[in-house]
């Protein structure tokens, strides 16, 4: 399977190069990145209209500013596209939805199995605890992360909110002398530091008891492995929009 790796010079890009290099079914035939990288054994394009390699699937771990370039290339050539990049705009997400009518697109803010199972558990818990428990999300990431809060925190919040008829208003951090919590709030808090690969906690705080769901990614490898699994799955699919929930359902 020939892969075009978008964001190949970044931290996740390097991890993908390692994981794909150990898989005999896969090879990276081209890269896309604003930053050139000389040590790689495939060409890295800054403009994908110059890419002449045969590509079966694109894996994108780059930056929201790279989205237009990658989506234009995927749409022009109808190439299955795995999108892991976070911080995309509503307009970008609409473009993804429209594009998926013509070729398969896989999008998730978190490629790990664990987080996707945690989202399901949180949705069940939220529906049961609805009235008695306040819900807050805390996420922690490394000090180089561009977007905040994390795409995963928003994915978890949206999942919970869907189970609660979208009644929750998101409050990002709290500061001030007059910001007492209201019933309909869901607080989302971002911590940045060091090399934290990714940590997400969902806190259900009730009267005299607290339940906390917590996921820790101990290495970026979990995301790279998930993306490879997604790419192998996506090349077998018809046009449509796919995510981890669909992949897990189809493969169990
Ligand atoms: N879905 C998931 O499971 C998951 C997991 C980890 C990271 N991510 C996301 O993947 C993305 C990359 O993460 P990272 O830690 O590797 O970041 P990084 O900053 O280390 O790498 C990003 C790469 O994108 C390139 N880039 C930036 N702007 C560009 C542009 N306009 N055109 C082309 N290339 C451009 C940079 O040069 C860099 O090499 C982020 O959005 C992050 O949130 C998603």
User: pLDDT (tens digit, 0 to 9) for every residue of the chain, 252 residues total?
Assistant: 999 999 999 999 999 999 999 999 999 999 999 998 878 999 999 999 999 999 999 999 999 999 999 999 999 999 999 999 999 999 999 999 999 999 999 999 999 999 999 999 999 999 999 879 999 999 999 999 999 999 999 999 999 999 999 999 999 999 999 989 999 999 999 999 999 999 999 999 999 999 999 999 999 999 999 999 999 999 999 999 999 999 998 986
Residue from 62, 190, 216, 245 whose mutation best tests the ligand 1 pocket (most atoms within 8 A of CB): 62
- Whole-angstrom Cα distance, residue 131 to residue 183? 9
Strand-pairing partners, residue 141, are 192
Query: Considering only CA atoms, which residue is closest to atom 40 of ligand 1?
Result: 85
| Ligand 1 contact, 33 CB (< 6 A) | yes
Helices (H) and strands (E) in the chain, counts: 7, 12
Q: Which whole-number Å values give the CA distances from 98 to 21, 135, 141, 158, 241, in the listed order?
A: 33, 33, 31, 21, 9
Show Cβ contacts of residue 123 under 8 Å, excluding neighbours closer than 6 positions: 159, 160, 162, 163
Distance 237 CA to ligand 1 centre (A): 25
Closest CA to 244 of 150, 104, 127, 115: 115
> pTM for the complete prediction?
0.92
Other Cβ atoms within 10 Å of 92 Cβ, number: 16
Task: Please report where in the chains the tokens 């896989």 appear, as a residue.
Answer: 106
| Ligand 1 contact, 7 CB (< 6 A) | yes
Catalytic site residue from 119, 140, 141, 229: 141
215 is a catalytic site residue = no
Distance 223 CA to ligand 1 centre (A): 12
Query: Considering only CA atoms, which residue is closest to atom 39 of ligand 1?
Result: 10
pLDDT score for 52: 95
Contact 225, 19 (CB under 8 A): yes
Contact 121, 172 (CB under 8 A): no
Closest CA to 105 of 131, 125, 87, 79: 79
pLDDT score for 166: 95
pLDDT score for 20: 98
| Ligand 1 nearest-atom number relative to CA 223 | 3
141 is a catalytic site residue = yes
Tokens for 119, please give them: 């989202």
Q: Which whole-number Å values give the CA distances from 172 to 27, 139, 164, 169, 177, in the listed order?
A: 41, 11, 19, 10, 16
| Ligand 1 nearest-atom number relative to CA 227 | 3
pLDDT score for 38: 78
């Amino acid at each position: 399977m020939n892969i075009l790796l978008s964001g190949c010079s970044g931290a996740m890009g390097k991890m993908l190069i390692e994981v794909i290099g150990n898989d005999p079914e896969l090879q990276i035939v081209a890269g896309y990145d604003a930053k050139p990288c000389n040590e790689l054994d495939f060409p890295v394009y800054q403009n994908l209209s110059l890419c002449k390699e045969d590509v079966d699937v694109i894996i994108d771990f780059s930056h929201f500013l790279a989205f237009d370039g990658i989506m234009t290339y995927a749409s022009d050539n109808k190439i299955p596209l795995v999108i892991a990049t976070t911080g995309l705009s509503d307009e970008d997400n609409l473009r993804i939805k429209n594009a998926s009518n013509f070729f398969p697109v896989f999008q998730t803010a978190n490629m790990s199995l664990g987080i996707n199972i945690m989202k399901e558990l949180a949705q069940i818990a939220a529906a049961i605890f609805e009235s008695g428990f306040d819900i807050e999300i805390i996420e922690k990431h490394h000090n180089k992360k561009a977007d905040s809060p994390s795409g995963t925190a928003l994915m978890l919040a949206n999942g919970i909110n869907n189970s609660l008829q979208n009644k929750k208003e998101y409050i990002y951090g709290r500061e001030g002398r007059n910001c007492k919590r209201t019933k309909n709030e869901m607080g989302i808090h971002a911590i940045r530091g060091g090399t934290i690969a990714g940590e997400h906690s969902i806190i259900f705080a009730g009267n005299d008891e607290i339940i906390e769901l917590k996921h820790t990614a101990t290495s970026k490898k979990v995301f790279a492995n998930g993306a490879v699994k997604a790419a192998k799955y996506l090349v077998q699919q018809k046009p449509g929009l796919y995510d981890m929930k669909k992949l897990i359902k189809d493969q169990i």
